[in-house]
C-alpha cells in the first residue's frame, strides 16, 4: 500500500471518530439510546487508541526510512515522498543483482 494513501486513510478515520464522538455528545439520554451509546463509546475509545498507535508507528517508521535513506542515498533532508524513493532504488538494485546472479549460474 502506498504510504501517502495509508496516511490519508488514517487521517480520515480519525476525523470520522471525532464526528461520531460529537454526535454522541449531542444524543439524548433515553434508556434505549444509553446502551447503544455505551457500546459506541467503548468502540471509540479503542479506535482513538489504535489511531494514535498508528500515528506513533508512522513517526518511528518515517525516522527509520530517513536512516535507511541516509545509508543508501546520503541525504536524508528530503521531502517524505522522495524519502520513500529509496525503496524503489533498493528494489531496482536487488533486481539487477538477481539478474546478474542468474547469468553467472548459466555460465
The secondary structure of residue 73, as a DSSP letter, is T
Could you give the residue ranges of the DSSP H alpha helices within 1-107? 3-26, 31-72, 80-83, 85-106
- Residue 53 sits at the vertex; the CA angle it makes with 35 and 75, to the nearest 5 degrees, is 160
The pLDDT of residue 81 is 61
Nearest-CA neighbor of 7 among 63, 67, 69, 54?
54
The pLDDT of residue 75 is 62
Nearest-CA neighbor of 74 among 56, 86, 62?
86
The pLDDT of residue 54 is 86
The pLDDT of residue 39 is 83
Per-residue pLDDT of the chain (107 residues; tens, 9 = 90+): 577 787 888 889 889 888 888 887 777 666 667 777 888 889 888 988 988 898 888 888 878 877 877 776 666 566 666 666 777 777 888 899 999 999 998 87
Contact 80, 62 (CB under 8 A): yes
Amino acid at each position: 500500500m502506498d504510504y501517502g494513501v495509508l496516511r490519508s486513510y488514517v487521517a480520515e478515520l480519525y476525523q470520522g471518530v471525532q464526528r461520531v464522538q460529537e454526535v454522541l455528545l449531542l444524543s439524548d439520554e433515553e434508556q434505549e439510546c444509553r446502551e447503544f451509546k455505551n457500546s459506541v463509546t467503548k468502540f471509540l475509545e479503542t479506535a482513538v487508541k489504535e489511531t494514535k498507535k498508528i500515528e506513533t508507528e508512522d513517526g518511528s517508521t518515517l525516522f527509520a526510512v530517513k536512516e535507511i535513506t541516509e545509508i543508501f542515498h546520503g541525504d536524508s533532508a528530503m521531502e517524505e515522498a522522495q524519502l520513500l524513493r529509496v525503496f524503489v532504488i533498493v528494489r531496482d538494485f536487488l533486481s539487477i543483482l538477481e539478474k546478474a546472479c542468474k547469468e553467472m549460474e548459466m555460465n
